[in-house]
C-alpha cells in the first residue's frame, strides 16, 4: 500500500521532469567547438589550435584514458568530468540524452534530500519538488549550457551530482549526530575513493566544501560519535582537489588564455568579471531575498542547527561565485555551483515553515508568486522550445549536406551561417536558448574539428 502511495505522489511528477529534460536534450545538437574536439584523442596542444589531419576519433574506453592522460599534462586537470564527456561522445548523443535527463532528475532528488536533513526517501512532497525544478529553470544563469550542452553538462551538472551525493552522509550526520551512519568497516574506503572523484571536479566549489568539512570535523573531533568515514572522505576530497589544481595542464591553459601569470591577475580582476559577478547575483536575487528575509522572520523556536546550516549554504553560495573574480575566465555557467547551494537553503526554509507553522511569505503573496511563476514558466518554455527546434532544424540541414555531399569531401565548402532567433524570442525564453556558429575561416579550431569529425576537406560559415 505504501509503495502505491509513493508512486501516486511523486513518480508521475519526476517522470514529467525527465521528459522535459529529455526533449530539450534531444533538440540540442553537438555544439561546435568542445563537443567535436573532445570526440578525438587529445593531441597535446591548445584546444584553440586546430586538430591536425592525424587526429584520431575516440573508439574505445582505452582511447578515453589515453586522451585524458595527455589532457591532464597539457591542458586541464578536470579529468573526471572530461572522462565522462569523452565517454558519451564515443557512445553517442542518443545515449547521453537519456542519461543526462536521468541525472538532471537525480539532481532534483539530491537537493530535496539535502534539504530534508540528509534523509533519503522516495516519499517526496510535490510542492518542494516542483519548487526545486522551477528554481533551477528560473535562477540558473546559462541553464541550457549547464543542462543540455554535452561538454558543459559533464563539467557542471554531473559534477554537482557527485558533490551532493558525497555531501549527503555529512548532512545526515550533522542533523543526526548521535546516530551511526554506517557500521560497515568498508564504508570509510568508499568515502575515501568517492572523495577523490568528487574533489577532482570543480575548482571554485570544492575548496569551500573542504573548509566547511574541516571545521565540522575539527569542532567534533573529540566526540565519540565521530565516524572514521568522515575523516577518510575529507582526506579523499583534499587529495582529489590537489590532483585537480596541481595538474601541469592548468599552466599550459593559463598561458594559452592569458599569455602569462601577470595576464591572469589582470584578467581575474577585470571589469568583465565584476560585471559577471553582478549579473549572477542579480539572477539569484529572488533566492537571496527569500533566504535572508525568511531567516530573520522565523522565530527563535527554530533550532540553532537549522539556522547554522542555512547560513553555511549562503556562505558557500557567495564564496563559490565570488571566487570566479580571480579566474582568467568567468563564464556564466560557473555560477551554477553557488546557485545549487541557494536552492538547497530555500528548500530548507520551506521545510521549516511547514514544521513550525510559520509563514515568511503570506498566502496572498504566495498565490501571486505562483501565478507569476507559472506564467513565466509557460512563456519561457514555449519560447525556448521554439528556439531549440529552429536551431535543431538548421543544424540537421547542415549535417545532411556534409554527410551526403561529394563536393565537401574534395574541396572547402562555404555555407550560410545559422539564422538566429529574434531578440524577442531570445528574451522571452529567459535567456535559455543556445546559439550555434562557426567561423568564416576554415582553419579556425571549431571548423577544423567539425571537418575532421565528418571527414570533409574544410568548411567556412559566412553571413
Q: pLDDT digits over 189-241, tens only?
A: 999 999 999 999 999 999 999 999 999 998 888 788 888 999 999 999 999 99
424, 458 contact by CB (below 8 A): no
429, 436 contact by CB (below 8 A): no
pLDDT, position 418: 95
Using the structure block, give the residue that is written with the C-alpha cell 540558473: 140
Q: Percent of the chain scored above 90 by pLDDT?
A: 73
DSSP state of 416: E
Show Cβ contacts of residue 9 under 8 Å, excluding neighbours closer than 6 positions.
123, 124, 126
pLDDT, position 328: 80
The residue that leads in pLDDT, 278 or 300, is 278
Q: How far apart are CA 130 and CA 113, in angstroms?
A: 14
Mean pLDDT calculated for residue range 407-429: 92
Show Cβ contacts of residue 114 under 8 Å, excluding neighbours closer than 6 positions.
164, 167, 168, 171, 344, 347
- pLDDT band per the 50, 70, 90 thresholds, residue 8: low
10, 126 contact by CB (below 8 A): yes
pLDDT in tens, 10-28: 889 999 999 999 999 999 9
pLDDT, position 179: 85
- pLDDT band per the 50, 70, 90 thresholds, residue 178: confident
Residue 367 has pLDDT above 90, yes or no: no
pLDDT, position 412: 93
pLDDT, position 204: 92
Residue 389 has pLDDT above 60, yes or no: yes
The average confidence (pLDDT) of the chain is 90
pLDDT, position 3: 44
pLDDT in tens, 59-107: 999 999 999 999 999 999 999 999 999 999 999 999 999 999 999 999 9
Residue 185 has pLDDT above 50, yes or no: yes
pLDDT, position 317: 96
Using the structure block, give the residue that is written with the C-alpha cell 547560513: 311
Number of neighbouring beta carbons within 10 Å of residue 60: 9
Reported as type and span, the H/E element at residue 28 is none
417, 437 contact by CB (below 8 A): yes
DSSP strand pairing (413-416 vs 459-462): parallel
Q: How far apart are CA 243 and CA 252, in angstroms?
A: 16
Mean pLDDT calculated for residue range 172-188: 86
Mean pLDDT calculated for residue range 136-146: 95
Torsion of CA 171, 172, 176, 179, to 10 degrees: -130
Residue 393 has pLDDT above 60, yes or no: yes
438, 444 contact by CB (below 8 A): yes
Q: How far apart are CA 146 and CA 70, in angstroms?
A: 25
Residue 2 has pLDDT above 50, yes or no: no
Q: How far apart are CA 350 and CA 12, in angstroms?
A: 22
Show Cβ contacts of residue 12 under 8 Å, excluding neighbours closer than 6 positions.
none
Q: How far apart are CA 223 and CA 225, in angstroms?
A: 5
- pLDDT band per the 50, 70, 90 thresholds, residue 171: very high
Q: How far apart are CA 219 and CA 305, in angstroms?
A: 14
Residue 6 has pLDDT above 70, yes or no: no
Q: Annotate 342-359 with DSSP letters as a single string.
A: HHHHHHHHHHHHHHHT--
Residue 72: closest CA among 37, 47, 44: 44
pLDDT, position 315: 96
Residue 140: closest CA among 283, 345, 303, 293: 283
User: Is residue 123 helix, strand or coil?
Assistant: coil
Residue 457 has pLDDT above 80, yes or no: yes
pLDDT in tens, 309-351: 999 999 999 999 999 988 888 899 999 999 999 999 999 998 9
Sign of CA dihedral 300, 306, 310, 311: positive
Query: How many angstroms separate the Cα of 62 from the Cα of each of 74, 86, 92, 123?
Result: 19, 11, 16, 41
Crossing angle of the two packed helices 150-175 and 304-322, in degrees rounded to 10: 150
Q: How far apart are CA 417 and CA 406, in angstroms?
A: 21
pLDDT, position 299: 62
Residue 262 has pLDDT above 60, yes or no: no
Q: What is the CA radius of gyration of the chain?
A: 23
Instruction: Find the angle CA(65)-CA(69)-CA(75) to the nearest 5 degrees.
Output: 125
Show Cβ contacts of residue 405 under 8 Å, excluding neighbours closer than 6 positions.
413, 456
Indicate whether this model's pTM tops 0.85: yes
Residue 437: closest CA among 410, 455, 460: 460
pLDDT, position 1: 34
Instruction: Find the angle CA(106)-CA(107)-CA(108) to the nearest 5 degrees.
Output: 90
Residue 385 has pLDDT above 60, yes or no: yes
C-alpha cell at 150: 554535452
Instruction: Please give, one letter per residue, the 3-state secondary structure of 180-207.
Output: CCCCCCCHHHHHHHHHHHHHCCCHHHHH
pLDDT, position 224: 80
Reported as type and span, the H/E element at residue 250 is helix 248-258
Amino acid at each position: 500500500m505504501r509503495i502505491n502511495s509513493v508512486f501516486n505522489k511523486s513518480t508521475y511528477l519526476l517522470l514529467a521532469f525527465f521528459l522535459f529534460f529529455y526533449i530539450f536534450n534531444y533538440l540540442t545538437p553537438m555544439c561546435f567547438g568542445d563537443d567535436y574536439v573532445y570526440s578525438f584523442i587529445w593531441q597535446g596542444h591548445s584546444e584553440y589550435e586546430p586538430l591536425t589531419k592525424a587526429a584520431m576519433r575516440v573508439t574505445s574506453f582505452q582511447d578515453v584514458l589515453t586522451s585524458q592522460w595527455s589532457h591532464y599534462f597539457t591542458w586541464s586537470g578536470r579529468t573526471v568530468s572530461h572522462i565522462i564527456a569523452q565517454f558519451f561522445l564515443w557512445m553517442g548523443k542518443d545515449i547521453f540524452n537519456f542519461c543526462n535527463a536521468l541525472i538532471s532528475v537525480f539532481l532534483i532528488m539530491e537537493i530535496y534530500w539535502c534539504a530534508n536533513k540528509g534523509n533519503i526517501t522516495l516519499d517526496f512532497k510535490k510542492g518542494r519538488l516542483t519548487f526545486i525544478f522551477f528554481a533551477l529553470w528560473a535562477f540558473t544563469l546559462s541553464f541550457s549550457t549547464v543542462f543540455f550542452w554535452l561538454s558543459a553538462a559533464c563539467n557542471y551538472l554531473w559534477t554537482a551530482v557527485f558533490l551532493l551525493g558525497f555531501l549527503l552522509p555529512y548532512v545526515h550526520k550533522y542533523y543526526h549526530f548521535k546516530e551511526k551512519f554506517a557500521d560497515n568497516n568498508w564504508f570509510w574506503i568508499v568515502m575515501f575513493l568517492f572523495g577523490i572523484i568528487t574533489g577532482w571536479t570543480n575548482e571554485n566549489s570544492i575548496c569551500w566544501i573542504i573548509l566547511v568539512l574541516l571545521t565540522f570535523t575539527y569542532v567534533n573531533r573529540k566526540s565519540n560519535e565521530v565516524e572514521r568515514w568522515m575523516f577518510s572522505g575529507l582526506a579523499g576530497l583534499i587529495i582529489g582537489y590537489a590532483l585537480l589544481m596541481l595538474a601541469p595542464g592548468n599552466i599550459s591553459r593559463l598561458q594559452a588564455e592569458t599569455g602569462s601569470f601577470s595576464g591572469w591577475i589582470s584578467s581575474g580582476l577585470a571589469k568583465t568579471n565584476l560585471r559577471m559577478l553582478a549579473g549572477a547575483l542579480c539572477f539569484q536575487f529572488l533566492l537571496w531575498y527569500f533566504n535572508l528575509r525568511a531567516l530573520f522572520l522565523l522565530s527563535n523556536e527554530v533550532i540553532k542547527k537549522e539556522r547554522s546550516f542555512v547560513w553555511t549554504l549562503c556562505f558557500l553560495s557567495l564564496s563559490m561565485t565570488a571566487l570566479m573574480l580571480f579566474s582568467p575566465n568567468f563564464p556564466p555557467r560557473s555560477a551554477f555551483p553557488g546557485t545549487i547551494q541557494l536552492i538547497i537553503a530555500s528548500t530548507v526554509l520551506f521545510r521549516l515553515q511547514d514544521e513550525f507553522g510559520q509563514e515568511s511569505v503570506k498566502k496572498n503573496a504566495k498565490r501571486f508568486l505562483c501565478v507569476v511563476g507559472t506564467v513565466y514558466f509557460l512563456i519561457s518554455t514555449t519560447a525556448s522550445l521554439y528556439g531549440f527546434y529552429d536551431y535543431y532544424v538548421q543544424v540537421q540541414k547542415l549535417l545532411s549536406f556534409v554527410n551526403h555531399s561529394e563536393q565537401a569531401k574534395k574541396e572547402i565548402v562555404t555555407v550560410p551561417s545559422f539564422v538566429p532567433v529574434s531578440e524577442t524570442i531570445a528574451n522571452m525564453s529567459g535567456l535559455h536558448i543556445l546559439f550555434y556558429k562557426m567561423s568564416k575561416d576554415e582553419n579556425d579550431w571549431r571548423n577544423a574539428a567539425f571537418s575532421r569529425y565528418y571527414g570533409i576537406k574544410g568548411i567556412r560559415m559566412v553571413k
